[in-house]
A and B are shown apart, each in its own frame.
Chain A
Amino acid sequence: MAVLAVAAVVLAGWAFPVLWALLTSFKSERDVLAYPPKLVFVPTLANYAEVLFGSSTLLPNLWSSFVVASLATLLTMLIAVPAAYALARLEFPAKRGTGFYILATQMLPPVGLIIPYYLVLQRLSALDTYSGLVAIYLTFSLPFAIWLMVSYFEDIPREMEEAALIDRAGRLRALWYVILPQAKGGMAVTTIFVFLNAWNEFLFAVVIGGNRVRTVTVAMFNFISVEQTLWAKLAAGAVLAMAPVVVLGLLAQRHIVKGLTVGALKGGGRR
């Protein structure tokens, strides 16, 4: 009972901003500013109509976000999975050094890199392009994904691929037929985290993107200007931006929970 009560309090704390945003998105701009805040009001879909089909529509921005996040995720996974497998299993020169380097890149505060990234992309005429933004996202999603995947691979008993190697699978087919199917949960979790990080990213998107490539997080920011802040529309935009994240989370919930607990069940060769 006490546990449930604590859980309810924690959940309320977590859910409050989301619920408040949801509530706000159905208010008129006037009701938003009412003090004390109105809990009973006439709900309106005007904000959604505006951010979906009005002059400040977010649809192109949602599309941009989707393209950037998907591309970043796809490339990250394509590179991170084999890289993590190599770090987990193969012996190669400077393996420790490589592992540490990957970890070290995670330690830099991203803000510190904005100016160098900006200058590099400017030289390459890649500012405000999909490829430019995706490349920058890779710099932080790759090390993250590699480190996460390494731990999943290390959890799979070595005998699995040794058995496959003796059965003449060779390294690549052992990876494809034996190891990857067992790392599915981990790959799902990693994919989702990488996608969410890219989808929610704001800092680089606003500096390196901006006009042609304007992600939804950046576009939402436009509801805040010097003269006024359109809270209701901002809230409606936020709900729209959150929707795919929530859907993804619900769909993959089983995988995520399973994937996150994998590390706890050591040596579970027969999961």
Chain B
Amino acid sequence: MSGSVNLEGIVKRHGAVTVLHGIDLSIAPGEFFALLGPSGSGKTTTLRILAGLEPHDGGRVMMDGVDVTQREAGERDVAMVFQSYALYPHMSVYENIAFPLRMIGTRESEIDASVREAAARVRIDQLLARRPGQLSGGQQQRCALARAIVRKPRLFLLDEPLSNLDAKLRVETRVELRKLQRSLGVTTVYVTHDQEEAMTMADRVAVFLEGRIAQVGTPHEIFERPASASVAAFIGNPPMNLLPGELRGGELLVAQTQLALARDCGSDGAVTVGLRPGALSLADRGIPGRVYLVEDLGETSIVDVLVDGQLVKVRTPQRPRLQEGEAVQLAFVESALHLFERDSGLRRSP
């Protein structure tokens, strides 16, 4: 199967500012790979470099083992869906989808069959005569998808394709997009700032932070074993609570509470303690704090607890009967504890 991608030490500068500090990635054929990061982290730039739309200042882009760094966008056999969809407003949906085929000189009869097949796959076959301006946001998005899949490229590049859809449609389309990608089996690189999208759709995720890849792994790995405190602070909704702590002789000192640790957590020193909101519970003994606010989410609630001057979020199953300002204690099981070096932010094994 074709469609492997390797980025080797990609560097990109805008004048004096370095946007990408040596990106290394390797994406397997058929993989659904998400580039996840906050805005300005370099994920879209990386995608554009992959597409050949943006020159870069160092490193190589490899596709199927061939160096394509010097190749123009049109010579890389990739298709892209833009955040704005970039549908051609003066052409009908049919002509939009047919455009990539016309550009490579496909026979008219073949074009017709391919356009109808692609349109049927994304269920817009009844809209072929319309102009993009006469379509809803969701239909435009499908039209852009159809234009991308019609040529059967070796690589799909999707730049935040769902960000212009409303919340409900986004969740539906997420599932469809994933199904579509599976059935086509084409390697897909998907840029998003929405971790839920990345976590639910991708086989693997690269977390971009400030022009560097902070972690690459399956959604499960990234959630369960964040490689650094910054990844931990970015992933999860709400993200992981991070508290300053100290390791001393097998004991963890956090928020003026001393906790004995069963496992070996390495040498003594300053650490950052990470605890997911779901890993914490309200108990009779543990880290002391005061209730600041209760956020009712329906199925669950988030209790904001002020611990040692810092807000800690706790997820509870039902809405707890708590007063603001009430004293509570937070408990957790040790296996849910994440420890990061205070200085470098890197994860302490395990």
* A and B pair up: yes
Q: Determine how close the nearest CB of chain B comes to the CB of A165; give it in whole angstroms.
A: 4
Q: A162-B82, A165-B73, A170-B74 are in contact. List 17 more A-B contacts (CB 8 A).
A: A160-B88, A162-B53, A162-B73, A163-B80, A164-B88, A164-B99, A164-B103, A165-B72, A166-B51, A166-B53, A167-B74, A167-B147, A168-B75, A169-B74, A177-B99, A270-B132, A270-B133
Q: From residue 143 to 161 of chain B, which have CB atoms closer than 8 A to chain A? A: 147, 151
Would you mind naming 14 contact pairs between A and B with Cβ atoms under 8 Å apart? A157-B84, A157-B86, A162-B82, A163-B88, A164-B103, A167-B147, A168-B75, A168-B100, A168-B103, A169-B74, A170-B74, A177-B99, A181-B88, A181-B90
Cα distance A212–B69 when bound, in Å?
A: 60
Residues of chain B with a CB closer than 8 A to A173's CB: 103
User: Does A269 belong to the interface (CB within 8 Å)?
Assistant: yes
Residues of chain B with a CB closer than 8 A to A182's CB: 88-90
Q: From residue 212 to 271 of chain A, which have CB atoms closer than 8 A to chain B? A: 269-271
Beta-carbon contact of B89 and A167 below 8 Å: no
User: Does A178 belong to the interface (CB within 8 Å)?
Assistant: yes
Number of interface residues of A (CB under 8 A): 20
Residue ID in chain A nearest B101 by CB atoms: A167
Cα distance A157–B72 when bound, in Å?
A: 20
User: Does B5 belong to the interface (CB within 8 Å)?
Assistant: no
Cα distance A224–B133 when bound, in Å?
A: 56
Beta-carbon contact of A159 and B84 below 8 Å: yes
User: Does B198 belong to the interface (CB within 8 Å)?
Assistant: no
Identify B74's interface contact among A157, A166, A270, CB under 8 A.
A166
Residue ID in chain A nearest B153 by CB atoms: A166
Residues of chain A with a CB closer than 8 A to B104's CB: 168
User: Does B78 belong to the interface (CB within 8 Å)?
Assistant: yes
Q: Determine how close the nearest CB of chain B comes to the CB of A183; give it in whole angstroms.
A: 10
User: Does B252 belong to the interface (CB within 8 Å)?
Assistant: no
Q: Determine how close the nearest CB of chain A comes to the CB of B74; give it in whole angstroms.
A: 4
Identify A270's interface contact among B53, B80, B87, CB under 8 A.
B87
Residue ID in chain A nearest B140 by CB atoms: A270
8 A-B pairs with least C-beta separation = A159-B86, A168-B74, A167-B100, A163-B86, A181-B90, A165-B73, A168-B103, A159-B82
Cα distance A164–B80 when bound, in Å?
A: 10
Cα distance A271–B99 when bound, in Å?
A: 19
Beta-carbon contact of A166 and B78 below 8 Å: yes
Cα distance A170–B99 when bound, in Å?
A: 12
Q: Mark contacts of A164-196 with chain B using CB atoms, 8 A cut-off: 1 yes-contact digit, 0 otherwise.
A: 111111100100011001100000000000000
Q: Determine how close the nearest CB of chain A comes to the CB of B301; give it in whole angstroms.
A: 41
Q: Determine how close the nearest CB of chain B comes to the CB of A160; give it in whole angstroms.
A: 6
Residues of chain A with a CB closer than 8 A to B89's CB: 182, 269-271
User: Does B79 belong to the interface (CB within 8 Å)?
Assistant: yes
Cα distance A146–B90 when bound, in Å?
A: 23
Cα distance A169–B86 when bound, in Å?
A: 15
Beta-carbon contact of A167 and B99 below 8 Å: yes
Given contacts A166-B73, A167-B103, contact A178 B88 (CB under 8 A): yes
Beta-carbon contact of A269 and B84 below 8 Å: yes
Residue ID in chain A nearest B79 by CB atoms: A166
Residue ID in chain A nearest B48 by CB atoms: A162
Identify B80's interface contact among A157, A166, A170, A271, CB under 8 A.
A166
Residue ID in chain B nearest A91 by CB atoms: B55
Beta-carbon contact of A162 and B86 below 8 Å: yes
Residues of chain B with a CB closer than 8 A to A169's CB: 74, 99, 103
Cα distance A169–B74 when bound, in Å?
A: 7
Residue ID in chain A nearest B82 by CB atoms: A159
Residue ID in chain A nearest B78 by CB atoms: A166
Cα distance A160–B87 when bound, in Å?
A: 7
Q: Determine how close the nearest CB of chain B comes to the CB of A169; give it in whole angstroms.
A: 5
Cα distance A167–B146 when bound, in Å?
A: 13
Q: Mark contacts of B57-93 with chain A using CB atoms, 8 A cut-off: 1 yes-contact digit, 0 otherwise.
A: 0000000000000001111001110101011111000
Cα distance A157–B83 when bound, in Å?
A: 12
Cα distance A177–B99 when bound, in Å?
A: 9
Q: Determine how close the nearest CB of chain A comes to the CB of B253; give it in whole angstroms.
A: 53
- Residue of A167, A169, A173, A177 with most chain B CB atoms under a 10 A cut-off: A167
Cα distance A181–B91 when bound, in Å?
A: 9
Residue ID in chain A nearest B81 by CB atoms: A163
Q: Determine how close the nearest CB of chain A comes to the CB of B115; give it in whole angstroms.
A: 13
- Residue of A164, A181, A270 with most chain B CB atoms under a 10 A cut-off: A270
Residues of chain A with a CB closer than 8 A to B88's CB: 160, 163-164, 177-178, 181-182
Residues of chain B with a CB closer than 8 A to A167's CB: 74, 79, 99-100, 103, 147, 151
Cα distance A157–B87 when bound, in Å?
A: 11
Residues of chain B with a CB closer than 8 A to A181's CB: 88, 90
Q: From residue 200 to 234 of chain B, which have CB atoms closer than 8 A to chain A? A: none
Beta-carbon contact of B86 and A269 below 8 Å: yes
Beta-carbon contact of B79 and A160 below 8 Å: no
Residues of chain B with a CB closer than 8 A to A162's CB: 51, 53, 73, 80, 82, 86
Residue ID in chain A nearest B88 by CB atoms: A178
Cα distance A164–B84 when bound, in Å?
A: 14
Q: Mark contacts of B104-142 with chain A using CB atoms, 8 A cut-off: 1 yes-contact digit, 0 otherwise.
A: 100000000000000000000000000011000000100
Cα distance A168–B53 when bound, in Å?
A: 12
Q: From residue 63 to 87 of chain A, which have CB atoms closer than 8 A to chain B? A: none
Q: Determine how close the nearest CB of chain B comes to the CB of A48; give it in whole angstroms.
A: 44
Residues of chain A with a CB closer than 8 A to B52's CB: 166
Residue ID in chain B nearest A179 by CB atoms: B88
